[in-house]
Structure 1
Amino acid sequence: MNEIELLREWDADAPPLSDAARARARFRLHQAMQAPAARTRFPVHRRQLLRVGVACATAAAVTATVVVSQDTGEDAPRTRTVSATTVLRGAAAEALRTEKPLAPRDDQFIYTKEVIERRPVSGGPVKKWVDESWSSVDGSKKGYVSELGHKQWVPVFQPGQSTWPPSKWSELEKLPTDPGKLTAALRDMGGKPDYGRPTRADEWPMVQIFLSGLLRHSVLPKGLRSAAFEALATAPGVKVLPGRTEFNGHTAIGVRYVVGPPGTSAKDGGRLLLFDAKTYRYLGLRERTTAKLTSKVYEQSQYIVADGVVDRVFQRP
């Protein structure tokens, strides 16, 4: 199932979803997951839900490894063995090194520019979209989103409405930057976190969704993005793609989320999170997707090329 095609059908001008409607939407979006998903008190903003769906592939396995070829200029290439844990913890360190010292005001907007490319698996030309979106930091102003070229205004939040990840900087700052505490806070969302209790296997799918959605947020408080990568490095069920691939001009390592145990109908999530093979910087996402109307199968790549904080819609950093 292609979540982007599903989300394009959603009406951003509709009133907030009921608990039952949100539950049905989560089931459709993550029906491949075998573990039960905890219900959330957050009505999901259309753009944020897209980000969660796009990024929910993120997680890690502590045992999976891959041999990555290195070009050394010698006759025979050397190899090095890396694990998903190594990649994600490397991504955490890179996030700390490159994070932006930004603190947006509630009256500002988060700007994101994302490129999506589709190539038919059976062969044919590549179709490309450049989507630009402006999301109100606190939801008090109309935003503007583009998804696969489909553009529309997003209305202001209704009283009591919120999003995941939180838009308000004050709410983001309340999230722990300790990886273990962050996991517990997301697992026990809506109540008092039990920091001393280990996270059960059946609780990880929803925790991974929250963590992955958090990582798709363009601007985060200092240390929070790194903590999310570190937390994902402890999650079960992800493997490294054997070999190496090229992505947007980079030699990349792929991390793939396995959504179910061997033998189930949803053995493999089919998505790859791609990281730079040298620095482990997160590059973007690659997956196979099926067009709803034509059933044609595509290889789809998407990556963010610009983001930042601006004062108004259509302004760019």
Structure 2
Amino acid sequence: MSEPSTELQLLREWDADTPPLTDAARARARFRLHQAMLTPDTLAPASPAVRRRPVLRMAVAGVAAAAITTTVLVANESSPRTRPVSATTVLHGAAAEERRLEKPIAPRDDQFIYTKEIIKETPTKGGRTRTYVDESWDSVDGSKRSYVSELGHKQWVPVYRPGQSTWPPTRWSELKQLPTDPGKLLIALRDMGGKPDYSRPMKAADWPMTQVFVSGLLRAPVLPKRLRSAAYEALAAVPGIKVLPHQKDADGRVGIGIQYVGPAGTPWAKGGPILVFDPKTYRYLGMHDRRTAGGTRYEQWTYIAASAVVDRVMQRP
């Protein structure tokens, strides 16, 4: 029998006979659990038949000072000009653009969410750029087998077991339960797994995991009406955001980068993944991230090329 995973070890440390955890202790426990989830070496071996699609490349944030305002170069038809743009401005602009463009959908439980994601990556020290076209079909309610692709690795994912879930959720019913008010969304994600306490304000210790969940939610290719715009505005309220000018997306388009920076000693002290937005419309373009595999570090750019609701696996819109 293999050694228990770190998640199980953490859960076993929680003695049911002890007094309830304080808010700070609960935040630390959730942070440790999330770190274990993202560290492959600490996890038990996956099933030899198929592995559950991992939650990868989530934009995450640490606790830091208020959002930093910087000067971003914005071009107009005649000549370049500069103006100060804050993270709050960009994210609220992205929310407004999302509300303007979104097309509400209501998938049936027996359908699938189709996603086509383009991933480009280059070794940090130089080398050939590889492009992956990942197409996935996720069961709306988890009752059917899904077919997913990660960096070209294709696999069937079995139906959900009772009580099983993922983040961001793939079940439409779970997504529909999330509030579309930005403030309430933050609290619902902070208290995920229990009944949200909307009377308790956010504390400094609540932000690390809450912002991880908010940013992860934005990776869902299809969301219920108003939920994505609420997530953008919720993210704007998170401390520790800075703006990076002249960032490129996977197609080489120059945009405004939003990055989450944590305090010294945290995994995000040097900054997490960068979300790239159009400098004029603030429409979300894609993500710039890094990953390490086999001792090689890669620069990675991703974007969603297409998403839709379809009736069966392998069907394309």
Which residue of structure 2 lines up, in the alignment, with residue 307 of structure 1? 307
Kindly state the Cα deviation for residue 266 of structure 1 after the two structures are TM-superposed: 4.7
> CA offsets, 1:141-160, max 9 Å, x none?
11111111111100011122
> Over aligned residue pairs, what C-alpha RMSD do you find?
2.6
**Percent of counterpart pairs with the same letter?**
59
Which residue of structure 2 lines up, in the alignment, with residue 69 of structure 1? 73
Equivalents in 1 of 2:194, 2:202: separation in Å? 15
Residues 260 and 268 in structure 2, CA contact (< 8 A), matched pair in contact too: no
Kindly state the Cα deviation for residue 114 of structure 1 after the two structures are TM-superposed: 0.6
Which residue of structure 1 lines up, in the alignment, with residue 271 of structure 2? 269
**Alignment length (residue pairs):** 281
Residues 248 and 276 in structure 2, CA contact (< 8 A), matched pair in contact too: no
In the superposition, the TM-score normalised over structure 2's length comes to 0.80
Equivalents in 1 of 2:145, 2:189: separation in Å? 28
Which of residues 285, 288, 291 in structure 2 aligns to 1:286?
Answer: 288
Which residue of structure 2 lines up, in the alignment, with residue 39 of structure 1? none
2:127 matches 1:124: yes
The letter for the 1-side match of 2:159 is V
SS at match of 2:258: strand
Which of residues 94, 99, 103 in structure 2 aligns to 1:100?
Answer: 103
Residues 62 and 234 in structure 1, CA contact (< 8 A), matched pair in contact too: no
Equivalents in 1 of 2:172, 2:291: separation in Å? 34
Q: Using a 3 Å threshold, how does the CA distance of structure 1 residues 179 and 124 change in structure 2: closer, same or farther?
A: same
Which of residues 20, 24, 28 in structure 1 aligns to 2:36?
Answer: 28
> CA offsets, 1:40-81, max 9 Å, x none?
xxxxx933x42xx4123368974311211133455x631011
Q: Using a 3 Å threshold, how does the CA distance of structure 1 residues 71 and 56 change in structure 2: closer, same or farther?
A: closer
In the superposition, the TM-score normalised over structure 1's length comes to 0.80
SS at match of 2:36: helix
Equivalents in 2 of 1:271, 1:303: separation in Å? 13
Which of residues 109, 114, 118 in structure 2 aligns to 1:115?
Answer: 118
Q: How does 1:207-286 map to 2 (within 5 A)?
A: 207-241=210-244, 243-247=245-249, 248-258=251-261, 260-262=262-264, 266-286=268-288
Which of residues 132, 144, 149 in structure 1 aligns to 2:147?
Answer: 144
> CA offsets, 1:123-179, max 9 Å, x none?
222111101111111111111111111111000111222233333333322211111
SS at match of 2:117: strand
Residues 142 and 153 in structure 1, CA contact (< 8 A), matched pair in contact too: yes
2:52 matches 1:46: yes
Equivalents in 2 of 1:253, 1:281: separation in Å? 10
Kindly state the Cα deviation for residue 30 of structure 1 after the two structures are TM-superposed: 5.3
